[in-house]
Amino acid sequence: MIGFRLAAQRPPDPERITDTVVMRFEHIYEVDPNLMTEHTPQQSFPAWDTLRIVDSRWEHLAWMHDHFADSVVSGEELLREIEGEEGEEA
């Protein structure tokens, strides 16, 4: 059996980003768990499991791009296009 001690895998203390969002790991934003407990009881997640889930999301996104996208457009590219259209209208 593979095991771990939850006490040794506690995530870092959350850093408040907004009134409703916290960040425990760099670039991983969460709804403040205190707000969530008003509606749904929260369970303790070990730090390694949170990081595993985030890594899996990136793998899934890459798979979706490989199978369904003709191209991938960055957010910066979209903003430049929108700003260019706004400049033409003025």
Task: Sketch the domain layout of the chain as residue ranges.
Answer: 6-89
**CA proximity to 44, closest of 9, 17, 19:** 9
pTM of the model: 0.57
- At 36-88, the pLDDT tens digits run 887 888 787 888 888 999 999 989 989 998 999 888 888 899 999 899 887 77
Whether the predicted pLDDT of 1 surpasses 60: no
